[in-house]
Copies of this chain bind each other. A is one copy, B any other.
Amino acid sequence: MELLKERIRRDGKVKGTDVLKVDSFLNHQMDVELFQEMGKEFKRRFAGCEVNKILTIEASGIGIACVAAEYFHCPVIFAKKSQTKNIAGDVYTTKVQSFTHGKVYDVIVAKEFLGPGDKVLLIDDFLANGAALEGLARLVKDSGAELVGAGIVIEKAFQPGGDRLRAEGLRIESLARVKSMSEETGVEFVD
């Protein structure tokens, strides 16, 4: 998606060789008009898939998922990262390793919102090692729902998550696939 790649080139900040800061428009400050264009693009790519639920994970996937869901005309579920007293016991749960935060956390979805007959699209802002996406895919599988695929905003294609999950049969549509990046030369995209 050219609009997104241009925005990453203009406003993304590369730190070292593996941190891409896009917090001016994607995951701290959020440009909702860009999100609308991304939502339309996800809808175009997953047209005809009869998606009836979008599943994302807190926190930075939520805004993108909600705006995208307006084009799919379906609700969003966001998986929670730890059990709070406001979620009852009847939940799907799995463990996910966060490389950003350097810890393992529980990911939880209430059973009442996901089950057989649902056609689920995963949406998240980043795909790198694939741990979060893999966890969400497990939750969908556990629920008996059908996993349609995953819509990702930025895939770090030089990290192993995308290749591994595609090899396992997951359809992944990434709006920008980063081939490599450095502080000197900036971001280079696949294609």
Contacts and interface: CB of A to CB of B under 8 A. Distances in A.
Given A30-B77, A32-B69, A58-B59, 18 more contacts: A21-B88, A27-B86, A28-B77, A28-B80, A28-B87, A28-B109, A29-B75, A29-B76, A29-B113, A30-B75, A30-B76, A33-B73, A62-B62, A62-B63, A66-B67, A84-B100, A85-B100, A86-B100
A49 interface: no
A25 B66 CA distance: 12
A100 B67 CA distance: 27
Most chain B C-beta atoms within 10 Å of own C-beta, residue among A31, A70, A84: A70
Given A59-B59, A59-B62, A75 B113 contact: no
